[in-house]
């Protein structure tokens, strides 16, 4: 059996390793346009800010390791077309220009995603010097270099999602004047409601970040190099501009496949597409979202790795690995805020047409008689009629960190559990760690009309 893998980052690497570990006899040929694989782009901001001392530490695999396992790996090769009827791919060698046709028995599509352009902007403006993207290792090298350049004094980050906020923090740590611009009126609105973003925005402003929220970018000023960002409400000096407005799935090579509205490939729990003998994994796919009860793209490295495993199991006809659903579990640690969310925010649930309500509390994480305790904020979003949990957010400050409870709530969403069912799961109480009615249970009780929190003990 011959398997062609298109794309070799997190999802592709996961699939190749699993394919060959389970079945060393399978013939695996992998193609990628890049010069490297397995780069953890989520660590770019850590490298810019100096937490990660060597950006090369963000790699966890390489071509040699895959070849040692038995794979044929062809870097700097661009797959330009796929013929699912003939079961062939056309590939261009980016170094020599040579075009070849290769055949497969089964194909795993892991072409990933690419940063979006700023809507309505003249594409030529993105060609100005010091207008950059944040995705690849090559981007990371330049972004790190710019952080230490004396001539880079002001930085504008376009997009207040996770990557944008992390970069804003990283460049501020480097002593730069930072402006964070977004068309949305709040930071990270996709994952968190205003109870959490309000605190984060206050901390960002306190630490010197200029927030230009609710503003549309319309132009970049500058002749050869960028000098300012122009929005519909103001102009902001910028020696460096980083575009972080989101990502689009790279699925143009499979026009006949079933897709969602944004172009992501719809797959089943084993990562099979609507095309026979074609699997798809990683950022290019839309998995079944347990909160929405439909397929949706959630581009996270955790999902990429899981989908790679599931596809390899399926291709090898080995049972036991399926991605039945996701909840979009994520986290961020910036400006002393420890935040995690899963499922849908209340704003996102309402925007999708769901009839939901929410329960939000701020409570001590341990009994107040312990003297040393921290404050934790939690919000549960649930269907009004069924009380089914569809979203959860949790946050704290500094050394107080309870983000890992989001795993428990993500599982509850995946299993379609209601608030009463979650309330009666078997948990422990110990004053050193939590309260008899811990913050999750207290938020659930509040949702059903039993308010057992102690607001007088809470300070924010």
Q: How many Å apart are CA 44 and CA 55, to the nearest integer? A: 8
- In the chain, % helix, strand, coil (3-state, to 5) comes to 30, 30, 40
CA distance 412 to 414: 5
Degrees to nearest 5, angle at CA 85 with 79 and 86: 70
Distance CA 67, CA 30 (A): 10
SS3 257: coil
Q: How far apart are CA 346 and CA 352, in angstroms?
A: 10
What sign has the CA pseudo-torsion 14, 16, 22, 24?
A: negative
- The residues, ordered by sequence, that sit 6+ positions from 426 with a Cβ below 8 Å of its Cβ are none
Residue 172: CB atoms within 10 Å: 19
Q: Which residues of 46-65 are buried (b: 16+ CB within 10 A; e: fewer)?
A: bbbbeebeebeebeebebeb
10 is catalytic: yes
- Tell me the three state secondary structure of residue 107: strand
Annotate 261-311 with DSSP letters as a single string.
Answer: TTSPEE--TT-B-SSTTEEE-GGGEEEEETTTTEEE----HHHHHHHHHHH
Lookup: tokens for 291: 């909160």
The whole-angstrom separation of Cα 239 and Cα 225 is 8
- Per the structure block, which two tokens stand in for 384? 């009004």
432 is catalytic: no
Q: Distance (Å, rounded) from C-alpha 135 to C-alpha 132?
A: 10
Residue in the structure block whose two tokens are 């939690």 = 378
Nearest to 106 by CA among 240, 288, 228, 278: 278
How far is residue 412's CA from residue 441's CA, in Å, rounded to a whole number?
13
- Name the catalytic one among 10, 77, 289, 402: 10
Residues known to be catalytic: 10, 42
């Amino acid at each position: 059996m011959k398997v062609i893998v298109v794309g070799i980052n997190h999802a592709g690497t996961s699939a190749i390793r699993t394919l060959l570990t389970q079945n060393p006899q399978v013939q695996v040929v992998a193609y990628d346009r890049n010069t490297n694989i397995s780069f953890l782009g989520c660590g770019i901001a850590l490298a810019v800010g100096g937490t990660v001392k060597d950006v090369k530490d963000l790699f966890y695999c390489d071509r040699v390791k895959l070849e040692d396992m038995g794979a044929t790996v062809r870097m700097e090769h661009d797959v330009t077309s796929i013929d699912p009827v003939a079961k062939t791919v056309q590939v261009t060698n980016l170094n020599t220009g040579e075009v070849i046709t290769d055949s497969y028995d089964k194909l795993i599509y892991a072409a990933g995603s690419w940063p979006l352009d700023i809507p309505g902007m003249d594409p030529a403006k993105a060609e100005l010097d010091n207008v950059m993207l944040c995705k690849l290792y090559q981007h990371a090298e330049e972004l790190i270099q710019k952080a230490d350049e004396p001539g880079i004094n002001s930085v504008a980050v376009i997009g207040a999602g996770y990557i944008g906020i992390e970069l804003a923090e990283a460049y501020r740590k480097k002593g730069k004047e930072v402006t964070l611009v977004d068309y949305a009126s709040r930071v990270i609105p996709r994952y968190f409601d205003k109870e959490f973003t309000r605190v984060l925005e206050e901390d960002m402003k306190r630490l010197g970040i200029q927030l230009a929220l609710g503003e549309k970018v319309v132009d970049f000023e500058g002749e050869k190099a960028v000098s300012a960002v122009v929005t519909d409400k103001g102009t902001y000096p910028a020696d460096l501009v980083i575009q972080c407005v989101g990502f689009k799935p790279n699925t143009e090579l499979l026009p006949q496949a079933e897709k969602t509205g944004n172009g992501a490939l719809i797959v089943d729990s084993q990562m099979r597409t609507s095309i026979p003998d074609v699997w798809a994994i990683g950022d290019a796919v839309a998995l079944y979202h347990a909160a929405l009860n439909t397929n949706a793209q959630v581009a996270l490295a955790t999902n990429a790795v899981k989908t790679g495993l599931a596809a390899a199991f399926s291709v090898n006809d080995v049972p036991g690995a399926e991605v039945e659903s996701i909840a979009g579990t994520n986290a961020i640690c910036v400006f002393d805020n420890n935040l995690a969310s899963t499922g849908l925010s209340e704003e996102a649930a309402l925007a999708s047409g769901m009839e939901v309500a929410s329960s939000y509390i701020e409570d001590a994480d341990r009994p107040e008689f312990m003297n040393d305790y921290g404050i934790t904020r939690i919000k549960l979003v649930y269907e009004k009629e069924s009380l089914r949990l569809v979203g959860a957010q949790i946050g704290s400050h500094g050394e107080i960190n309870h983000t890992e409870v989001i795993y428990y709530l993500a599982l509850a969403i995946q299993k379609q559990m209601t608030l009463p069912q979650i309330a009666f799961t078997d948990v422990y109480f110990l004053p050193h760690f939590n309260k008899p009615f811990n913050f999750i249970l207290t938020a659930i009780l509040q949702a059903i009309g039993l308010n057992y929190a102690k607001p007088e003990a809470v300070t924010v």
